[in-house]
């Protein structure tokens, strides 16, 4: 299996190789797509500028190229559809002030540091999953701002993916300007903390739904076995919503933001999750399972350096998240700044090449004669030696 480090290297090499193709698609989007959508959506100058800004995102263009195996026509069609989806969902108008404050006070997700592959790290706490307003109460003013609607939750999902897109774009450009050998940052990683979560059934339903879809189209497994497994684990009443709305929305969101999530690290999980995942790995393709890892406090530091890992997850970072001082929300989310530049830089520092871990199984604590760190291995990579990004 290709190690995560090798994949990161390969993506950077492909990015350099296909820069001209990226520019070709950008030019076609500007000459063909812009006139069409300007007429179709009656775009004003402000909205048109936002679309042009999206087209200028070379990292996103590359993601679509990679997803379509560098078929320029296919990538163009996908991007055209993505632009129309963004306009239909008014993506550029989804900002911090337009979302319920409760989604930021106790956030489900927020950015915090980097993993060992120098990818931005998103911390996801399932225990902060908000209360959803019942359908019959959605039009009532209950005075309880802890409740949100399904629409608000979906808009929050779009908002978070936009933060990740803009963050990785700026990071890639910043690293390229700094002369990094491999500046491209296409992915961010997600640390999922399942402790105290109220959404055990939500995750279980999603898992079982995806497993059901796969097994249903696997000739060697009978449909009766599949349906029995699915119905035993998924109550019909709850499943209806996830099947008809939430899961299709999530899948469509991932299609619109391809190749953004690089790794999912799961902590504080119930044994049933690990058991189900072990079973799933026997039937699912390796490509679908290689990015998700179930970790304990001992192994999580192999994925995230202790200084980037919060104390509650076994690390040494004492950072307490506060949406009022989150520079990511200010820079990319439309939040008005309430802190100094020094505060922002302290909370949003690019770790740089020199901050890579020396080694987990190192035989040396200094670079080798050719400038490389010796001995570090990506867990699960079959023992293949890997090197820090940007060191040649």
Q: Are residues 194 and 53 in the same domain?
A: no
Q: Is residue 325 part of a domain?
A: yes
Confidence (pTM): 0.76
Q: Are residues 329 and 375 in the same domain?
A: no
Q: Rg of the chain's alpha carbons, rounded to an integer?
A: 22
Is 123 in a helix, a strand, or coil? strand
Domain end among 73, 93, 113: 93
pLDDT confidence of residue 3: 75
CB 25 within 8 A of CB 76: yes
For the chain, the residue count is: 392
Q: Are residues 110 and 75 in the same domain?
A: no
Q: Is residue 208 part of a domain?
A: no
pLDDT confidence of residue 231: 35
Q: Are residues 166 and 117 in the same domain?
A: yes
Instruction: Output the tens digit of pLDDT for each of the chain's 392 residues.
Output: 467 788 889 999 999 999 999 999 999 999 999 999 999 999 999 999 999 999 999 999 999 999 999 999 999 999 999 999 999 999 999 999 999 999 999 898 999 999 999 999 999 998 888 877 765 444 444 344 567 888 898 999 999 999 999 999 999 999 999 999 999 999 999 999 988 755 544 555 455 545 544 444 444 443 433 333 333 444 444 455 555 677 778 888 988 999 998 888 988 887 777 777 777 777 777 776 777 888 887 889 888 999 999 999 988 999 889 999 999 999 999 888 765 444 443 345 555 443 333 332 222 333 333 333 333 333 333 333 333 343 32
Q: Are residues 288 and 315 in the same domain?
A: yes
Q: What is the CATH number of the domain that holds 47?
A: 1.10.8
Q: Are residues 190 and 88 in the same domain?
A: no
Contacts of 14 (CB under 8 A, 6+ apart): 62, 66, 70
Q: Are residues 192 and 290 in the same domain?
A: yes
> 199, 198, 275, 201: which is closest to 234 by C-alpha?
201
Q: Is residue 278 part of a domain?
A: yes
- In the chain, the number of structural domains is 3
Q: Are residues 42 and 86 in the same domain?
A: yes
Range of the structural domain that residue 38 is part of: 1-93
């Amino acid at each position: 299996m290709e190690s995560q480090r090798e994949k990161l290297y390969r993506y950077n090499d492909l990015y350099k190789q296909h820069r001209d193709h990226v520019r070709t698609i950008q030019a076609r989007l500007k000459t063909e797509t812009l006139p069409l959508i300007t007429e179709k959506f009656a775009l004003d100058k402000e909205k048109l500028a936002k679309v042009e800004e999206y087209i200028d995102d070379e990292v996103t263009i590359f993601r679509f190229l990679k997803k379509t195996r560098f078929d320029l026509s296919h990538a163009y069609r996908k991007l055209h559809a993505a632009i129309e989806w963004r306009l239909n969902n008014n993506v550029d108008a989804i900002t911090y002030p337009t979302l319920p404050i409760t989604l930021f006070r106790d956030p489900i997700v927020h950015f915090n540091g980097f993993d060992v592959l120098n990818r931005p790290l998103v911390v996801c706490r399932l225990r902060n999953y908000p209360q959803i307003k019942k359908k019959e109460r959605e039009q009532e003013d209950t005075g309880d701002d802890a409740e949100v609607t399904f629409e608000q939750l979906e808009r929050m999902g779009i908002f978070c993916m936009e933060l990740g897109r803009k963050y990785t774009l700026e990071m890639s450009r910043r690293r390229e300007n700094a002369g990094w050998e491999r500046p491209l940052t296409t992915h961010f990683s997600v640390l999922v903390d399942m402790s105290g979560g109220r959404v055990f059934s939500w995750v279980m339903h999603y898992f079982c739904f995806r497993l059901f879809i796969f097994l249903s189209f696997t000739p060697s497994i009978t449909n009766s076995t599949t349906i029995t497994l699915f119905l035993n684990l998924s109550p019909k009443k709850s499943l209806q919503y996830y099947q008809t709305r939430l899961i299709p929305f999530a899948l469509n969101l991932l299609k619109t933001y391809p190749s953004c999530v690089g790794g999912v690290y799961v902590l504080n999980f119930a044994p049933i999750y690990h058991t189900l995942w072990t079973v799933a790995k026997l039937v699912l393709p390796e490509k679908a399972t290689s990015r998700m890892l179930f970790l304990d406090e001992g192994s999580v530091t192999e994925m995230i350096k202790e200084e980037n890992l919060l104390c509650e997850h076994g690390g040494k970072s004492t950072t307490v998240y506060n949406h009022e001082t989150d520079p990511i929300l200010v820079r990319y989310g439309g939040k008005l700044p309430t802190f100094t530049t020094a505060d922002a830089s302290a909370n949003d520092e690019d770790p740089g090449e020199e901050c890579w871990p020396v080694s987990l199984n190192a035989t040396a604590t200094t670079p080798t004669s050719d400038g490389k760190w010796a001995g570090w291995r990506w867990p699960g990579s079959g023992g293949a030696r890997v090197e820090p990004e940007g060191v040649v």
